């Protein structure tokens, strides 16, 4: 697993948070305004909905519980949507029998009460841009203060599909990660076409939408990732900070590294060397991090390696190890020789040599730019150590 890093990560998070916060507060204002119109004794007119037709159309569907506006019988074309909205507002006004008025008024007052709590909470707390541990606290606080929102009302405010374009631009495009932080194996490059993306990452909710319903739009809860990790492997697994590694908070680093085992097998009556990638743990890893990476046998779906099946997946990349091994083998035409001698001869840095000869990124901060970068660097370090030890002995 690779840590998500960016030179201006805090600025990206802040800009995204302010944008989503503004949209949420605007939605709350629209709902309150629509209910105010519904409870007014005056009929709605074109002036009532001026410049707010689309906003009020979405809001009234939520408030009255309908998927569509009532049909005003106005001819299709310009003004149709405005007239349908005005007709619907006037049709649902509280002005009929006392029983109907009391029932609707109670419903509207409940929505107003919760909408005002939501507005105050969002305005005073950064439930969009806070760090993971703080998000968990804010989610529980909001659940306590607001209670249960009706499904349509909740979806209106928090269904992340309604904000997908903002998420895509504010996270996917802004971070510009090239490959999945969970597996460091698949590209997730954001590619737009006329302000709309052609391809890009999926967004995994690290804390599940079902259990942490008010974190669906939170920056640090939306992990840009590949489809396989998000939709095929993690699915609805309930992640937590104790038994799973959060890509914004940590990575394998030097605590978990790739190694390999050599075996021989007969292939067409010839013996060939096989390279089997394995994951090893350093002696210095602390127990808490080990739980997040490897999990515990007694806890189902714990450990990021288990959930994303990294051991199984990386077994298919023995060819990558073989290619690096070839460059350290004296019998190979691609033999690189002494790394230190070449660096001195070419008057270059080890990073530059590695970048062009091994065709991947040397520094861990760049591992998100190309698949298998962690694997390649770990194997390179191992073989370089073996070669240096052999030549110096």
118, 112 Cβ separation under 8 angstroms: no
**In total, how many domains does the chain have?**
2
Q: Give Cβ neighbours of residue 190 (< 8 Å, ≥ 6 apart).
A: 168, 172, 173, 176, 197, 199, 200, 201
Q: Could you tell me which residues come within 8 angstroms of residue 164 by beta carbon, excluding any fewer than 6 positions away?
A: none
Asked whether residue 185 falls in the same domain as residue 334, the answer is no
The CA radius of gyration of the chain, in Å to the nearest whole number, is 28
Residue 322, helix vs strand vs coil = helix
Check whether residue 11 and residue 136 sit in a common domain: yes
Q: Do the domain assignments include residue 361? A: yes
Task: Assess if residue 114 is contained within a domain.
Answer: no
In sequence order, what are the residues at sequence separation of 6 or more whose Cβ sits closer than 8 angstroms to the Cβ of residue 244?
Answer: 206, 292, 302, 303, 304, 307
> DSSP character for 74?
P
51 inside domain: no
Along the chain (393 residues), what's the average pLDDT of each consecutive run of 10 residues? 95 97 96 93 92 94 91 91 94 71 85 95 95 96 92 93 94 95 96 84 95 96 97 93 95 94 73 84 92 92 95 92 88 82 86 92 94 96 80 52
Question: Is residue 57 in a domain?
Answer: no
In a domain, 13, yes or no: yes
10 and 140 share a domain?
yes
Q: Which residues contact 37 (CB under 8 A, 6 or more apart)?
A: 44, 48, 56, 89
pLDDT of residue 314: 93
Does the residue 387 lie in any domain?
Answer: yes
* The predicted structure's pLDDT at residue 15: 97
pLDDT of res. 45 = 93
Q: What confidence score (pLDDT) does residue 63 get?
A: 92
Q: List the beta bridge partners of residue 274.
A: 263
Strand-strand pairing, 202-205 and 196-199: unpaired
Residues 142 and 201 in one domain: yes
Other beta carbons less than 10 A from residue 366's beta carbon: 17
Instruction: Pick the last residue of a domain from 245, 273, 301.
Output: 245
Do residues 326 and 226 share a domain?
A: no
Instruction: Specify if 91 maps to a domain.
Output: no
- How many angstroms separate the CA atoms of 389 and 393, rounded? 6
Residue 18 lies in a domain: yes
Which of 195, 224, 245 corresponds to the end of one domain? 245
DSSP state of 75: P
Residues 275, 354, single domain; the answer is yes
Range of the domain at 324: 256-392
What is the C-alpha to C-alpha distance for residues 189 and 191, in angstroms, rounded to an integer?
Answer: 6
* 284 plus 362 within the same structural domain: yes
Beta bridge partners of 83: none
Structure tokens at 333: 């035409």
Task: Give the pLDDT score at 307.
Answer: 96
Final residue belonging to a domain, choices 245, 265, 288: 245
Residues 270 and 237 in one domain: no
Cβ(265)–Cβ(272) under 8 Å?
A: yes
In this structure, the answer to whether residues 270 and 238 fall within a common structural domain is no
Question: Nearest Cα to 134, choosing from 192, 212, 69?
Answer: 212
Residue 275 and residue 386 share a domain = yes
Contacts (Cβ under 8 Å, ≥6 apart) of 276:
260, 261, 262, 263, 315, 318
SS3 content of the chain, % helix, strand, coil (to 5): 55, 10, 35
Secondary element (H or E) of residue 320: helix 318-328
Considering the domain architecture, whether residues 137 and 263 belong to the same structural domain is answered as no
Output the pLDDT for position 97. Answer: 58
Position 275 scores a pLDDT of 86
Note the pTM of the prediction, 2 decimals. Answer: 0.90
Same domain, 319 and 265: yes
């Amino acid at each position: 697993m690779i840590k998500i890093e960016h030179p201006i990560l805090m600025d990206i998070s802040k800009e995204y948070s302010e944008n989503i916060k503004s949209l949420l507060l605007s939605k709350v204002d629209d709902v309150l305004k629509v209910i105010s119109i519904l409870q007014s004794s005056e009929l709605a007119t074109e002036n009532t909905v001026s410049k707010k037709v689309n906003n009020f159309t979405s809001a009234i569907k939520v408030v009255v519980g309908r998927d569509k506006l009532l049909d005003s019988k106005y001819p299709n074309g310009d003004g149709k949507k405005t007239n349908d909205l005005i007709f619907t507002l006037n049709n649902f006004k509280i002005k009929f029998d006392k029983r109907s008025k009391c029932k609707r008024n109670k419903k509207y007052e409940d929505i107003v009460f919760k909408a005002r709590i939501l507005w105050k909470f969002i305005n005073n707390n950064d439930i969009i841009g806070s760090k993971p541990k703080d998000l968990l606290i804010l989610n529980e606080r909001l659940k306590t203060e607001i209670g249960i929102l009706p499904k349509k009302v909740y979806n209106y405010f928090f269904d992340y599909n309604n904000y997908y374009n903002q998420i895509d631009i504010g996270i996917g495009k802004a971070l510009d990660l090239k490959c999945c932080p969970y597996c460091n194996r698949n590209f997730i490059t954001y590619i737009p076409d006329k302000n709309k993306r052609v391809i890009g990452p999926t967004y995994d909710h690290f804390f599940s939408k079902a259990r942490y319903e008010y974190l669906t739009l939170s920056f640090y809860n939306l992990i840009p990732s590949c489809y396989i990790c998000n939709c095929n492997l993690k699915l609805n697994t309930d992640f937590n900070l104790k038994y799973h590694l959060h890509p914004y908070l940590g990575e394998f680093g030097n605590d978990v590294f790739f190694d390999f085992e050599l075996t021989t097998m007969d292939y067409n009556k010839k013996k060939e060397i096989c390279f089997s990638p394995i994951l090893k743990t350093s002696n210095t890893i602390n127990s808490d991090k080990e739980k997040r990476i490897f999990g515990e046998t007694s806890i189902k779906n714990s450990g990021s390696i288990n959930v994303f099946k990294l051991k199984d997946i990386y077994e298919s990349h023995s060819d990558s190890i073989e290619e690096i091994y070839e460059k350290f083998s004296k019998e190979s035409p691609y033999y690189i020789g002494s790394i230190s001698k070449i660096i001195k001869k070419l008057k270059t840095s080890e990073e530059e040599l590695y970048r062009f000869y091994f065709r991947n990124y040397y520094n861990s901060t760049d591992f998100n730019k190309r698949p298998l970068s962690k694997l390649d660097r770990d194997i390179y370090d191992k073989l370089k150590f073996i070669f240096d030890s052999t030549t110096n002995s």
